[in-house]
Chains A and B, each alone.
Chain A
Amino acid sequence: MVMKKKKSATVYLVVKYIICVLLALLSILPFYIMFVNATRSTVEIQQHAISFIPSKYLSNNWAILDGKNFNALRGFANSVIVSTGATICTVYFSSLTAYAIMAYQWRLRNAFFTFILCIMILPAQVTSVGFYQMIYKVGFTNSFLPLILPAIAAPGTVFFMRQYLQATLSIDIVNSARIDGAGEFGIFNRIVIPIMKPAIATQAIFAFVTNWNSLFIPMILLTNNKKHTMPIMVSLLRGDIYKTEFGSIYLGLSLTVLPLFIIYFLLSKYIIAGVALGGVKE
């Protein structure tokens, strides 16, 4: 009886491992096929669309992409500008707002915090028509500012920062800095920001990735192809001019995700920890 139970437990454990390995393969395979096909020629892909061995047509595919006005470097630069700008706005001003909620006793602060919780689930698409019309009227389409400045108001990040400050900020440090004659703004920049570094790092990663991946708003605002970000350039890969250039489509896709893969595998530990922290919102 005991033997039987032990045996079935082992079988169950083996089943668990098999399923986990299959799911892991499911995560890797599409991207692996993409990277390999980026190095293969159209003819090779037509013969066999799956291959696990890279070929030698990478520079060829690059030349085709380049010839079709797929300026990967410019798209990359645009995406870096937008994502970096938005990330800095998000983490700095969210920290400032969270600090205002945590460190000062003002009358509306509880009401303000409730308000931040309420606007957290507000989706961007729902307001897109009004947003577009406003930007269009002031003539800021094809500018990066309407993609960067709205990041100042990031309720989700404020919430996270507040939770972090609640656990780490001791008001005594602030008070002793006051006695030393530091100004309130100086205290925030020189004392509070360094305390918040771990939280800022986590939120910066998420803000950067979210902005890097964003498609909807950039697509309706940036009509000039010199201003296109990576996701917009990717969306054009579906067009007719690439119909038979299989290898270069895969290369274009690979180029957009390469930076994300590098960020992810360098920082995956922090990212996973950050996701876990973000979920425990009670």
Chain B
Amino acid sequence: MRRKSVSYARFGYIFCIPFVIAFLIFQLYPIIFTTVLAFTDYKGLNVTEWHFLDNPFANFEYVFKNPSFSTSLKNTVIIWTINFIPQILLALLLTAWFTSRRNKIKGQGAFKILFYMPNIITAATIAILFNSLFAYPVSPVNDLLTTLGLSKEPINFPTKMWISKGIVAFIQFWMWYGYTMIILIAGVLGINPELFEAAEIDGANGRQVFFRITLPNIRTIMLFTLVTSMVGGLNMFDIPKLYLNGGPSSSTLTTSLFIYNQAFSGSYRYNTASAASLIMFIIIGILSAFTFFIMRDKDAAKLRKLEKKVKKDLKKAEQAAKGAA
């Protein structure tokens, strides 16, 4: 009987084969290929030959010296930050309201559905929609401003650098705060209700409960939101590309857009695009590792270590017992 159960193990391997093959072909190979290209002279349309460069880091030097790259990196960080801080604050506020045990908000379901809605709509469509909403001279926003008398004449939004950055950040904020809110609410609902009951008995007010119990208990989920938002933010492409194509004067140029422009939009500089991709890859890796490190739950890590040790000891004991038998 025991022998038979062992023989099933091979199906574990067999059933993973499609996943592994697809991963190797469509993810691992492109990563390796991108890495290799970053050290070559591969550029130009319909070129199939490439050679390794004498100075292996020439492409990286090119990228770092390229003012567009540093601008795009700066823009990406700025746009992500001015989208994420209000996003997480609003999401936390709404989470506090929607999970409050004292005064329940009615119609929560409908609010959640509407707040989350922009997230599933095609980003490309939203970018062009906002391009139309803020167009000059004829656009709904300008119509609203002049009709309400807030502005005497239409404002030329597409030429304003900081306003454009702000609009791109706003679109990101608007598309994602509902998602963040739902995830945080799920986190709060997962907290042991006894904690809240105990706090209430101890006479804690709403604010105290939120800061002393709710927040510390959703730390891991906030970390998850932070990391996914950061990775997504560093890859922001659809919206800056289609809102104003990185303009005006590169004020909404992001790193993904920089890579796209290098490789796929007329210049065919596959080698420097690969180098820029690798730089982004490393930045993303370092940032995620760093956030995991500073926000890691120290007690949980200790517990896990202990658990591992106990398991090891158990195994040893088992083996010893077997040996003895």
Binding site for B on A (CB under 8 A): 9, 13, 16-17, 20, 23-24, 26-28, 30-31, 33-34, 37, 45-46, 48-50, 93-94, 96-97, 99-101, 103-109, 112, 119, 121-134, 137, 146, 149-153, 158, 184, 188, 209, 212-213, 215-216, 219-220, 230-232, 234-235, 237-238, 246, 249-250, 253, 256-257, 260-261, 263-264, 268-269, 271-272, 275-282
Chain B residues near A237: list those with CB within 8 A: 128
The distance in angstroms between the C-alpha atoms of A132 and B20, with both chains bound, is 20
Is there contact, CB below 8 Å, between A149 and B22? yes
Beta-carbon contact of B18 and A96 below 8 Å? yes
Per-residue interface assignment for chain B, residues 16 to 39, with 1 indicating a CB less than 8 Å from any chain A CB and 0 otherwise: 101111110011011111110100
Instruction: For A48, list chain B residues within 8 Å (CB).
Output: 143, 147
Tell yes or no: B74 within 8 A of A by CB: no
Whether B77 sits at the interface, judged by CB under 8 Å, is no
Contact in complex: B22, A28 (CB < 8 Å): no
The answer on a CB contact under 8 Å between B105 and A121 is no
Give the CA-CA distance A250 to B273 in the complex, in Å: 34
3 tightest A-B CB contacts, nearest first: A279-B183, A104-B12, A130-B33
Chain A residues contacting B12 (CB-CB under 8 Å) are 100-101, 103-106, 109
Closest to A278 in B: B183
State whether A231 touches B31 (Cβ < 8 A): no
B249 at the interface (CB under 8 A from A): no
- The smallest C-beta distance from B261 to any residue of chain A, in angstroms, reads 12
Q: In the complex, which of the residues B130, B140, B186, B284 contacts A123, with contact meaning CB atoms closer than 8 Å? A: B284
Q: Do residues A126 and B235 form an inter-chain contact, with CB atoms below 8 A? A: yes
Contact B105 A20 (CB under 8 A): yes
CA distance A213 to B235 in the complex (A): 15
Q: Which of B31, B110, B129, B264 contacts A130 (CB 8 A)?
A: B31
List the B side residues contacting A209 at CB < 8 Å: 120
- Known contacts A24-B115, A133-B37, A213-B124; decide if A246 and B140 are in contact (CB<8 Å): no
- Extra contacts, 6 of them, besides A20-B97, A230-B122 (Cβ < 8 A), are A30-B130, A49-B142, A238-B245, A279-B184, A280-B183, A282-B221
Interface on B for A, CB 8 Å cutoff? 5, 8-16, 18-23, 26-27, 29-35, 37, 48, 94, 97, 103, 105, 109-118, 120-126, 128-133, 138-140, 142-144, 147, 174, 178-179, 182-187, 190, 220-221, 224-225, 227-228, 231-232, 234-235, 237-238, 241-242, 245, 256, 259-260, 263-264, 270, 273-274, 277-278, 280-281, 284, 288
Selected contact of A279 from candidates B139, B140, B186, CB within 8 Å: B186
Cα distance A49–B147 when bound, in Å? 11
Partner of B139 from A49, A213, A219, A234 at Cβ < 8 Å: A49
The residue that A216 contacts in the complex, of B94, B144, B237, with Cβ under 8 A, is B237
Contacts A100-B11, A126-B34, A257-B122 given: A132-B128 contact, CB under 8 Å?
Answer: no
Closest Cβ–Cβ distance, residue A239 to chain B (whole Å): 11
Asked whether, in the complex, the Cβ of A213 is within 8 Å of the Cβ of B284, the reply is no
Candidates A26, A152, A260; contact of B174 at CB < 8 Å: A26
Contact A275 B179 (CB under 8 A): yes
Measured in the bound complex, the distance between the Cα atoms of B259 and A278 in whole Å is 30
- Where chain B touches its partner, the secondary structure class is helix
Q: Please state if B8 and A184 are interface contacts (CB–CB under 8 Å).
A: yes
Decide: B105 and A17 in contact? CB cutoff 8 A. Answer: yes
Q: Which of chain B's residues have a CB closer than 8 A to the CB of A96?
A: 15, 18-19
A13-B103, A150-B26, A209-B120 known; A125 vs B18 contact (CB < 8 Å): no
Given contacts A119-B23, A184-B11, A238-B242, contact A134 B33 (CB under 8 A): yes
Nearest CB of chain A from residue B122's CB, rounded to whole Å: 4
A158 CA to B198 CA, complexed, in Å: 38
Contact call A129/B8, Cβ cutoff below 8 A: no
Contact of B123 among A26, A213, A219 (CB under 8 A): A213
Task: Give B190's nearest chain A residue, CB to CB.
Answer: A280
B16, A112: Cβ atoms closer than 8 Å: yes
> Are A104 and B111 closer than 8 Å at their CB atoms?
no
Instruction: Given A234-B122, A268-B113, check contact A93 B19 (CB 8 Å).
Output: yes
Closest beta carbon of chain B to A188's beta carbon, Å: 7
Q: Which of B138, B182, B281 contacts A275 (CB 8 A)?
A: B182
Q: Evaluate contact between A121 and B228: CB separation under 8 angstroms.
A: yes
Q: List 13 A-B contacts (CB under 8 A).
A: A28-B117, A45-B138, A97-B18, A104-B8, A122-B27, A130-B33, A184-B8, A212-B122, A237-B128, A253-B125, A257-B122, A279-B183, A279-B224
List chain A residues, Cβ under 8 A from B186.
275-277, 279-280
Residues of B within 8 A of A151 (CB): 22
Closest to A131 in B: B30
In the complex, the chain A residue whose C-beta lies closest to that of B182 is A275
- Give the docked Cα–Cα distance between A24 and B108 (Å): 11
- Which residues of B have CB within 8 Å of A109? 12
Contacts of A260 in B (CB 8 A): 120-122
Q: With A and B bound together, what is the CA distance between A97 and B17 in angstroms?
A: 8
- Tell me, in angstroms, the Cα distance from A104 to B9 when the chains sit together: 5
- Give bound CA distance, A34 to B227, whole Å: 33
Q: How far is the CA of A234 from the CA of B103 in the complex (A)?
A: 44
Other-chain contact of B277, A101, A103, A125, A271 (Cβ < 8 Å) = A125
